[in-house]
């Protein structure tokens, strides 16, 4: 693997850090992975089905889907798509939560050579309309609770094939009495399905039945073909479609498996999947990497419903879980979760946003396991760095994002474009086989994000220490300048979150005529007795004066994306544009 190009004089050469990283790699983890092991994601899927066909692949609402049944239904869906005229390179949108139809349609679309466009089912008509028009998708699979959104967004899009699915689909064999009863209950008693009109739509079970009667025609798809147009989360502006090739995603799932291999055993693991599979973190790690070891995957439909999540886990002795800081915090506040036996737990991964030290320490105290901090972004399929595991479990949580995973180079770039030295902050840049092909139909944005040598600029500011470990300071755009000093929200949030009376916190910069910007904190109380004066006294103990919030606003909740990321932008945009 080439380092790309030499660093400017006086800065550390990219290849000079390799030895630092590899010296701290987990036992048995090599420097490189080999994406050529699989020709495509369809090849990877077929091999998993063949190896683990008698194992349970996915669990939803108490019903199980074996690898063999998953393979059979995915083949049927691929055949159905071919009957619709879907060809390699056509876009198929998937708009559903974590239910059994998701993996079936995901792998079926990939087997047909289609490009999968994952859609957040909670999108508004405007958001969905943008994504459908931008991707040019002709086909969509939609959870019926959100079919009305598709109906309203369809005009002006290219959608001509609609497959509708419900919570009860695939929960049983034959007539599926359990699933049909559940769907009727949700539609007519709970009134959770808004009325919609999609006259040409077909239900998923009927589509699978038609596909099963057709002969599937294998397609030729290779490493350079696009597997996903995965849209950025939209927390930093207009969502762009990252083109992730089969090679990108194969490389990343192999990187994830290589990193955690010492803790996992084939055909022995049960992983809890509360994060939506349409999100790149859960897609690569849970839907793909864990599939590669024959894991039993417990799908959680709505992770925000903590009571329902706990009911789903009541009889599960899970060995792995992936979640975000906000969900771990909510679980740690739940009495039933705190009473669980965690002796079987091997792996708890956190990603998608910064993990707060207070949450990590509480989790370690309760479970005996250290949260593995992962860092990634949509444009990198997504994994870039992770906390190393050692012989005793995870590397102690130290607030870093760990080390670059195999076959990955990371450097920090100064504002003038030169490479920063060890201990010097800069914009984190990534080079590796998981880096996207580019942005869909956005060549200028692609050129700005990825340079001629393959280095992707992430927009995150970080520092690398002498061991090669990387500490993120913050998003470049979230950085505040207070009286000429750079101030990073993550640092302040981490301090305030450590106060025992704080449940959640977000920090933004607001305009100030004297200092340029000032720090404002939005806080959700754990204890109603918490006052602004008490919190600011605590902050002054741990922060330099210019970092201490100038104001605090107490709220009942903080705005979040559907996967639990706090939307600083929404808080910032609600503030007055000027201060007199």
For the stretch 23-38, pLDDT in tens is 888 888 999 999 999 9
Largest CA distance in the chain: 72
In Å, what is the CA distance from 329 to each residue of 360, 397, 503?
A: 9, 16, 8
Q: What are phi and psi of 182, to 5 degrees?
A: -65, -45
Report d(CA 321, CA 311) in Å as an integer: 16
Q: Which CATH architecture has domain 68-231?
A: 3-Layer(aba) Sandwich (3.40)
Tens-place pLDDT, residues 3-15? 333 333 334 455 5
Q: 216-230, 231-245, 452-466: which has the minimum mean pLDDT?
A: 231-245
Q: What is the pLDDT of residues 440-470, one digit of tens each?
A: 999 999 999 999 999 999 999 999 998 889 9
In this predicted model, what pLDDT tens digit does every residue of 101-117 receive, in sequence order? 999 999 999 999 999 99
113, two tokens: 């050579």
d(CA 406, CA 390) in angstroms, rounded, equals 16
* Residues of the chain above pLDDT 90, percent: 71
For the whole model, what pTM was predicted?
0.86
The fold for domain 479-573 equals GMP Synthetase; Chain A, domain 3 (3.30.300)
Give buried/exposed letters for 98-113 (b at 16+ CB in 10 A, else e). Answer: bbbbbbbbbbbbbbbb
Q: Domain map of the chain by residue range?
A: 68-231, 479-573
Look at the alpha carbons of 219, 138, 237, 415 in this order and tell me if their dihedral is positive or negative. positive
């Amino acid at each position: 693997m080439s380092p790309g190009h030499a660093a400017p004089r006086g800065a550390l050469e990219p290849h000079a850090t390799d030895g630092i990283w590899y010296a701290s790699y987990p036992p048995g983890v090599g420097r490189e992975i080999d994406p050529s092991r699989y020709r495509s994601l369809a090849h990877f899927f077929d091999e998993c089905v063949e190896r683990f066909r008698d194992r349970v692949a996915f669990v939803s609402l108490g019903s199980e889907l074996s690898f063999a049944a998953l393979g059979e239904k995915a083949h049927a869906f691929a055949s159905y798509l071919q009957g619709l005229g879907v060809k390699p390179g056509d876009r198929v949108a998937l708009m559903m939560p974590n239910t059994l139809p998701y993996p079936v349609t995901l792998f079926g679309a990939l087997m047909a050579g289609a490009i999968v466009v994952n859609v957040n089912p909670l999108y508004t008509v405007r958001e969905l309309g943008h994504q459908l028009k931008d991707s040019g998708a002709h086909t969509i699979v939609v959870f019926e609770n959100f079919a009305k959104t598709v109906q309203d967004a369809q005009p002006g899009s290219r959608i001509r094939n609609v497959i509708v699915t419900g919570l009860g689909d695939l929960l049983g064999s034959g007539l599926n009495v359990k699933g049909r009863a559940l769907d009727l209950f949700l539609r007519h008693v709970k009134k959770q399905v808004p009325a919609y009109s999609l006259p040409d739509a077909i239900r998923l079970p009927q589509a699978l039945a038609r596909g099963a009667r057709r002969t599937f025609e294998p397609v030729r798809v290779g490493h350079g073909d696009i597997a996903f147009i995965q849209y950025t989360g939209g927390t930093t502006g207009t969502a762009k479609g990252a083109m992730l090739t089969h090679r990108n995603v194969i490389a990343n799932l192999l990187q994830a498996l290589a990193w955690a291999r010492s803790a996992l055993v084939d055909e022995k693991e049960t992983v809890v999947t509360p994060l939506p599979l349409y999100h790149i973190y859960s897609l690569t790690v849970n839907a793909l990497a864990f599939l590669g070891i024959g894991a039993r995957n417990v799908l959680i439909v709505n992770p925000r419903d903590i009571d329902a999540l706990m009911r789903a886990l009541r009889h599960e002795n899970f060995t792995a879980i992936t979640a975000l800081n906000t969900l771990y915090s909510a679980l740690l506040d739940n009495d039933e979760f705190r009473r669980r036996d965690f002796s079987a737990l091997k792996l708890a991964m956190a990603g998608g946003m910064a993990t707060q030290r207070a949450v990590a320490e509480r989790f370690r105290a309760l479970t005996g396991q250290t949260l593995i901090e992962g860092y990634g972004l949509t444009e990198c399929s997504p994994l870039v760095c992770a906390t190393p595991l050692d012989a005793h479990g995870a590397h102690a949580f130290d607030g870093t994002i760990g080390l670059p995973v195999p076959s990955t180079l990371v450097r920090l770039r100064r504002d003038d474009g030169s490479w920063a030295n060890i201990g010097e902050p800069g914009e984190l840049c990534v080079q590796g086989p998981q880096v996207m092909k580019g942005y869909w139909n956005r060549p200028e944005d692609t050129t700005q994000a990825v340079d001629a040598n393959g280095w992707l600029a992430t927009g995150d500011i970080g520092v690398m220490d002498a061991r090669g470990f990387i500490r993120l300071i913050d998003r470049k755009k979230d950085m505040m300048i207070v009286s000429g000093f750079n101030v990073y929200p993550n640092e302040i949030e981490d301090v305030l979150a450590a106060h025992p009376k704080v449940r959640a916190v977000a920090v933004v910069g607001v305009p100030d005529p004297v200092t340029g910007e000032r720090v404002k904190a939005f806080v959700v109380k754990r204890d109603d007795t918490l006052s602004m004066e008490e919190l600011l006294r605590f902050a002054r103990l741990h922060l330099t004066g210019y970092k201490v919030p100038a104001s605090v606003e107490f709220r009942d909740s903080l705005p979040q994306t559907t996967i639990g990321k706090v939307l600083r932008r929404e808080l910032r945009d609600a503030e007055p544009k000027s201060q007199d």
